[in-house]
Amino acid sequence: MSIELWSLFAVFGVMLFSVLAQGTYLDLRAGIPYVLSSRAEPPPNHGPLGARLDRNVRNQVEGLALFLPLVLISATSGISNGWTETAALTYAGSRAAYVPSYAFDLVPVRTLVWAAGLASLFAFAWGLTTGALSA
């Protein structure tokens, strides 16, 4: 399996952890009756950490929607080079670092980690482009 696909697997793990952390925190703060309800109302006693965990999950989903097509293009076209590998590893690392930096409101670390992830998406696209042009 390529570095790019392993990175996607790592990002899946980060996403799974994010969802589990959010759900566990919601269980602890709002209680099982709320969790089993229709959730038509905002959770009681959600607090700032709960709100940050919610936003983290949304951000992870948005990031995955940008990363996944790049990995699929890489895998299906057979393009893998230093740019795509480094970018994929950087993206996976930035997603993993984003969770605690967002959850614990580590400003400006959170923004720097997010920016590194975004830059790695551009680097990945560059690697795909140059790989396709040299083929």
Taking only the tens place, the pLDDT of each residue in 3-35 is 999 999 999 999 999 999 999 999 899 888 888
Q: Does pLDDT of 135 surpass 80?
A: no
- Which two tokens mark 8? 């996607």
Which residue in 62, 69, 66, 82 sits closest to 3, CA to CA?
82
- Per DSSP, the residues of 52-94 read HHHHHHHHHHHHHHHHHHHHHHHHHHT---HHHHHHHHHHHHH
Q: What value does the mean pLDDT take over residues 54-76?
A: 97
Tokens of 44: 């009681």
How do residues 72-93 score in pLDDT, each as one tens digit?
999 999 999 999 999 999 999 9
Question: Which amino acid is located at 96 in the chain?
Answer: A
Pick from 23, 17, 41, 39: nearest CA to 96: 17
Which domains does the chain carry? 3-134 (1.20.120.550)
